Amino acid sequence: MDKAPQRATTKWKEAGEAGFQVLPDLLLKKQSELGLSATDLVVLINVTMHWWYREQRPFPRTTTIASRMGVDNRTVQRSMKKLTQLGLMKRETEDKGTPKGDLCITSLRRWT
């Protein structure tokens, strides 16, 4: 049995029970080299929070991320555009009967 979730909840107590994610340390260590501002990194972390399985793309709304961060929706949109331009994300919109821009389905490229 994997003890990582148990260790995380022991370390973080109630906060760990709300959920956690695996995030490559490389993102933090190479933040400046990757050209990521603090805002860009928090947006990226919010997107990865929704990405549990490699084959399933996350689809957080920019309005949800903006609300969590306490910033304007446009700030998140600019960061997502930058992350796409940097090649860290690929943004794809699928037609699911929702208004244009309502659903953002994003996949992150692998870091090797």
Tens digits of residue pLDDT in 27-48: 888 899 889 999 999 999 998 8
Domain ranges of the chain: 24-108
Task: Note the pLDDT of residue 2.
Answer: 64
Q: What is the CATH number of domain 24-108?
A: 1.10.10.10
Pair of tokens at residue 89: 């994300």
Task: Note the pLDDT of residue 21.
Answer: 81
Using CB atoms within 10 Å of the CB of residue 18, give its burial: 0 to 12 exposed, 13 to 18 middle, 19+ buried: exposed
Closest by Cα among 40, 32, 38 to 82: 40
**Residue pointed to by tokens 């943004």:** 91
Residue pair 104/61 in contact (Cβ under 8 Å)? The answer is: yes
Parts of the chain with a pLDDT under 50: 99-107, 110-112
Q: How far apart are CA 75 and CA 79, in angstroms?
A: 6
Task: Note the pLDDT of residue 1.
Answer: 54
Q: 0.75 exceeded by the pTM?
A: no
